[in-house]
Amino acid sequence: MSEEIAAMSEEIAAMSEEVQATVDQVSMAVQTLAQDSQLSAEGTGDIQISIEETSKAMEQVAQTS
């Protein structure tokens, strides 16, 4: 009986390691997604500024013509 308990304990330990490895992978994926989202947001802000500057320049050209 104690051999069965030892075998079950080893199996549970192995499964726990697999679960931890999976959690680590998911954590890394979420962190990467957060970083990518931050970069995307920064890029969107840059595009918005560029559009605003272009619009102002177009207004100035329209006023001088």
Whole-number pLDDT of residue 30: 96
What is the average pLDDT score of the chain? 93
Whole-number pLDDT of residue 64: 87
- Non-local (6+) Cβ contacts of 12 within 8 A are none
Whole-number pLDDT of residue 7: 95
Tokens of residue 20, six digits = 């931890």
Average pLDDT over residues 38-49: 90
Average pLDDT over residues 30-40: 94
**pTM > 0.85: yes or no:** no
Supply the DSSP string of the chain, one letter for each residue.
Answer: -HHHHHHHHHHHHHHHHHHHHHHHHHHHHHHHHHHHHHHHHHHHHHHHHHHHHHHHHHHHHHHH-
